[in-house]
Amino acid sequence: MTRVLATSLAIAVAFVSLADAASNNFWRLPCMSRSGAARMDPLMAPGKTSDHLHTIFGSGGFSESVTQADLLDSDCTSCEVTQDRSAYWTPPLMFKYPNGSTVMVNQDGGMLAYYFVYGEDPKPFPEGFRMMAGNQFLRNFTGPVPDPAKSDWTADEQTQFSLSQKALGFNCLHYNTTDEGSLQRHYLPEKSFLDENCWDGLRLELMFPSCWNGKDVDSTDHKSHMAYPNLVNDGTCPDGFETRLVSLFFETKYDTQDFAGVDGEFIFSMGDPTGYGYHGDFIQGWQTGFLEQAMSGCTNPSGQVQDCPLFNTQSNEEAASCQFPVPSALKEENPLFNLHGLLGDVPIQLGPAQATLYGEAASALATGLGIIATSVADAVSSILPAAPNPPVEAHPTTTAPPVVSAKQNANVAQAAPTTTTTSAPPPPPPAPTTIITTTSPVQPVPTTIEKAVEFDIVYIDQEVVVQLGDNGVPLTTLAPVDRTVSTLTTSSTTTITELVTPTAAAAKRDQLPGHIRPPFHRHSHHRRHGARH
Ligand SMILES: *[C@@H]1O[C@H](CO)[C@@H](O)[C@H](O)[C@H]1NC(C)=O
Ligand SMILES: *[C@@H]1O[C@H](CO)[C@@H](O)[C@H](O)[C@H]1NC(C)=O
Ligand SMILES: *[C@@H]1O[C@H](CO)[C@@H](O)[C@H](O)[C@H]1NC(C)=O
């Protein structure tokens, strides 16, 4: 722990030296324990289950539809300063074994929330303030790697999008040698790189925007009321966002070294193996008027909360006892271990294209009609001949309409072996030609090689309801309902075409030659017959 504090201090000092600020005040708020870990996100999924898992720190009043008032009403916080009842959350880093099971990587020391009093006349967070930083759907990086010196940043490197991508840091920890600077690497390094170099783990860093539009305490996307200053953590605020707020920065250290030499891959809980989709959320919950006092009154350059007499601090044990109630629908979910894939059946989306919606949101939208339109005729014709002719009804709207419950056997990814039993999983599908793209700016070269390809075979039970009119002609088709029955990860050796990036580019990214990231991954869906009437 002392080592963690030592590096954190070094980072903070580096930040302060960049600031041509009126104030160099800052503090580092330790949140050693989580207030909880669950598929909850009151900003992005208010009042319902979030698609993916988060680890949450701060007020014990956290809930799916929490307000600032609820946070302040709680009698506890999992962070060290008791005048703070804010909520802080991020998606955790997970490790996936080759058999498909996932575990949460240990968060060593919980989270540190830094408060930097930077810039011209910074204000405290207003009442009711909320924001998020990052975008769970991003899977690529558009700027040069590594970052040019800040003094050389062009207009392209200072767009809000570019600044937001550079607000993420993946800091390889090796305490016996020189520390990496914060916010230098903006992607999750490959596992082999972590294994070989980051023997003290990986520190995730997230800088929140600190320029405010001066009026909205939140916005529909929880971002557009805020903007980054032109150097990410400091600099000039853009037009329309001239009000500087106190700057918030999250640090979370993960014990990735626990998995050195263990076969598998690191992924974020939202199905992101690249890190570009890392994000964090915040709801302000400081006691009214207190944050402003702390911003001017906490002047000790150590940044330690114990060194600011204004703060009331509590012990780690007291902080650890603060846990918010998990909604009953999520009580059965284990955030630390999931036997098959990621919690919430989140698909792994490698990119570089933007990740797509999944789960409930997506099945309402996409799975349905496109697939059905092309395959319903097959499904119906293969099932109907065996079935007795359904009753005929011209207008299936009044009394109970005639429905045939047809089980569709479709495959999204490729020609699947048709499965007719519900017990034995089918053999792994034949491996088709696979094109893997990388995010490197260097042109990849297609090469045919023999290689083990890992497949996730997800067995989905899908019910398709078709309403039939005269002569068994399908009238309408209801959107299919999907249910994951099981997931099996398997691999087979086959000839594939791969885009191989020249070694020089890989070396530039990771300072290690010959890495093609990330490992191959195919995600195919098999639909099988099941009984649901
Ligand atoms: C996969 O391997 C891990 C680590 O050995 C183990 O904990 C887990 O139970 C295994 N899962 C399955 C589905 O066998
Ligand atoms: C630092 O420690 C690691 C792991 O214990 C070791 O492999 C490495 O050689 C050490 N490096 C230096 C410069 O001491
Ligand atoms: C990179 O990400 C952006 C934002 O998600 C997306 O619009 C773009 O299509 C992606 N680029 C590639 C090559 O897929």
pLDDT digits (tens, 9 = 90+) for 286-299: 999 999 999 999 99
> How far apart are alpha carbons 369 and 372 in whole angstroms?
5
Residue 473: pLDDT over 50: no
Peptide bond into 352 cis (omega under 30): yes
Closest ligand by atom to 175 CA: 2
Q: Which residue has the higher pLDDT, 522 or 309?
A: 309
Q: Which amino acid is at 130?
A: R
Q: Is 178 a pocket residue for ligand 2 (Cβ < 6 Å)?
A: no
Give, as one character, the DSSP assignment of residue 420. -
Residue 450 is predicted with a pLDDT of 52
Q: Residue range 435-443: average pLDDT?
A: 38
Strands 279-283 and 87-90: antiparallel
Q: Residue range 509-514: average pLDDT?
A: 33
> How far apart are alpha carbons 284 and 161 in whole angstroms?
24
Tell me the two tokens of residue 3: 């080592």
Q: What ligand 3 atom has the least distance to the C-alpha of 139?
A: 2
Compute the distance from residue 101 Cα to the ligand 1 centre, in Å: 6
Spans of all domains in the chain: 2-369, 445-497
Residue 362: pLDDT over 80: no
Q: Is 390 a pocket residue for ligand 3 (Cβ < 6 Å)?
A: no
Q: What is the pLDDT of the chain when averaged over all its residues?
A: 75
Tell me the two tokens of residue 369: 């009609």
Residue 502: pLDDT over 70: no
Q: What ligand 3 atom has the least distance to the C-alpha of 137?
A: 5
Instruction: Choose the weakest-confidence range: 203-212, 305-314, 475-484.
Output: 475-484
Q: What ligand 1 atom has the least distance to the C-alpha of 337?
A: 7
Residue 22: pLDDT over 70: no
3-state secondary structure 287-325: CCCHHHHHHHHCCCCCCEHHHCCCCCECCHHHHHCCCCC
Residue 20 is predicted with a pLDDT of 41
Of 137, 140, 168, the one to substitute when testing ligand 3's pocket (max ligand atoms within 8 A of C-beta) is 140
Cβ neighbours of residue 221 closer than 8 Å, sequence gap 6 or more: none
Closest ligand by atom to 490 CA: 1
Q: Is 137 a pocket residue for ligand 2 (Cβ < 6 Å)?
A: no
Q: Which residue is closest in CA terms to ligand 3's atom 7?
A: 354
pLDDT in tens, 398-431: 223 323 233 333 333 333 333 333 333 434 443 3
User: According to the per-residue pLDDT averaged within each range, which of 49-63, 454-468, 478-492, 504-518 is highest?
Assistant: 49-63
pLDDT in tens, 168-194: 999 999 999 999 999 999 999 999 999
Q: Residue range 517-523: average pLDDT?
A: 32
Q: Which residue is closest in CA terms to ligand 1's atom 14?
A: 99
pLDDT in tens, 378-389: 333 333 333 333
Q: What ligand 3 atom has the least distance to the C-alpha of 353?
A: 14
Cβ neighbours of residue 203 closer than 8 Å, sequence gap 6 or more: 7, 169, 170, 171, 173, 251, 252, 253, 254
Distances (CA, A) of 141 to 147, 166, 185, 436: 11, 9, 11, 16
Residue 210: pLDDT over 90: yes
Q: Is 97 a pocket residue for ligand 1 (Cβ < 6 Å)?
A: yes
Residue 446: pLDDT over 90: no
Q: Is 334 a pocket residue for ligand 1 (Cβ < 6 Å)?
A: no
Q: What ligand 2 atom has the least distance to the C-alpha of 175?
A: 1
Compute the distance from residue 434 Cα to the ligand 3 centre, in Å: 19
Q: What ligand 3 atom has the least distance to the C-alpha of 135?
A: 5
State percent of the chain over pLDDT 70: 63
Residue 447 is predicted with a pLDDT of 53
Residue 532: pLDDT over 90: no
Q: Which residue has the higher pLDDT, 378 or 234?
A: 234
Closest ligand by atom to 138 CA: 3
pLDDT bucket at 24, cuts 50 / 70 / 90: confident
Residue 436 is predicted with a pLDDT of 36
Cβ neighbours of residue 488 closer than 8 Å, sequence gap 6 or more: 100, 425, 456, 457, 459
pLDDT in tens, 87-103: 999 999 999 999 999 99
Q: Which residue has the higher pLDDT, 162 or 380?
A: 162
Compute the distance from residue 190 Cα to the ligand 3 centre, in Å: 20
Instruction: Choose the weakest-confidence range: 192-201, 288-297, 515-524.
Output: 515-524
pLDDT in tens, 255-273: 999 999 999 999 999 999 9
Residue 504 is predicted with a pLDDT of 42
Distances (CA, A) of 79 to 108, 110, 129: 14, 9, 19
Residue 251: pLDDT over 50: yes
pLDDT in tens, 311-332: 999 999 999 999 999 999 999 9
Q: Is 101 a pocket residue for ligand 1 (Cβ < 6 Å)?
A: yes
Q: Residue range 180-209: average pLDDT?
A: 97
- Where do runs of H (alpha helix) occur along 19-92? 68-73
Instruction: Choose the weakest-confidence range: 77-86, 117-126, 441-450.
Output: 441-450
